[in-house]
Chains A and B, each alone.
Chain A
Amino acid sequence: MRTLIFKTAAPYLASLMILFSIFVLLRGHNEPGGGFIGGLIAASAFAIYGIANGVAPVRRAMHFHPMSVAAAGLLMSTISGLVSVFAGVPFMTGLWGSIYFLGEKIKISSILFFDIGVYLVVVGAIASIALALEERERE
């Protein structure tokens, strides 16, 4: 798939998809969307970039190994479930707080961090499988 058009378009397409995936992730806080679907979109972005420019640039762009990203996500989700021990409520209970940012009240919850964890798990796991498959095709 090394056509000039695709190769030129792929970086823009991939960055747009990643941006959109973060939008979907944050939108999932109160509306349809969320970590899983956002993670899938981001993983497809990496896959497209990999098809266009080869796997090595993607691995460089991700900086961390995909499996480490997935592990960090799982760790984050588990910890956001565990923090409820300090509030005296059962495992995985949502805890809510709010911060003021630029005069705007923003609600932050442990659920949000759980969802970001899910996002990272999906990005890492799916990207590592997709990259593994793309690498083999070229051998």
Chain B
Amino acid sequence: MEAWMAVVVGALFSVSIYLMLSKHIIRILIGAAILGNAVNLLIFTNGRLTREVPPIIGADESILSAQAANPLPQALVLTAIVIAFSFFAFLLVLGYRAYQELGSDNTDEMRVAEPVDDQTPPLGY
């Protein structure tokens, strides 16, 4: 089970890295979204996989009675999902605004902050 998950995580990583190597903001954005999902799966796999045994303590017990799924990776993944989701929403708005203002989503053409025709400083006083 873990081995297959490792393959899936690897595939997701390679897809996202390929997308992020692009010059276009929109592809980088999709790559970032996939990267977030890949990491979530990675955390989940690192917590060891158990099927169909929820970690719930019954009403008349005080400890877990059987070997159950690890709840901590679920909490971590939930946090990571929330953060990745809000990041994605923000980056979407940012990328869209940048496209509107700069007229391009090609990072090579986004040179307002670092102009191409930059002078070198004077050599004498």
Contact = CB atoms under 8 A, between A and B. Distances in A.
| A is bound by B | yes
B90 A129 contact: yes
A132 interface: yes
Interface residues of B, number: 8
Contact of B89 (A36, A126, A136): A126
Contacts of A126: 89
A125 interface: yes
Contacts, number: 12
A126 B90 CA distance: 10
A36 B82 contact: yes
B89 A129 contact: yes
A13 interface: no
A126 B100 CA distance: 22
A129 B86 CA distance: 9
A85 interface: no
A136 B97 CA distance: 9
A126 B89 CA distance: 8
Interface in B77-112: 82, 86, 89-90, 92-93, 96, 100
A106 interface: no
Nearest to B96: A136
Interface residues of A, number: 7
B93 A133 contact: yes
A136 B99 CA distance: 12
A123 B86 CA distance: 12
A136 B94 CA distance: 12
Interface in A11-41: 36
B92 A125 contact: no
Contacts of B89: 126, 129
B86 A132 contact: no
B93 A132 contact: yes
A126 B85 CA distance: 10
A133 B93 CA distance: 7
12 contacts: A36-B82, A125-B86, A126-B89, A129-B89, A129-B90, A129-B93, A132-B93, A133-B92, A133-B93, A133-B96, A136-B96, A136-B100
Interface of B: 82, 86, 89-90, 92-93, 96, 100
Given A126-B89, A129-B90, A133-B96, 9 more contacts: A36-B82, A125-B86, A129-B89, A129-B93, A132-B93, A133-B92, A133-B93, A136-B96, A136-B100
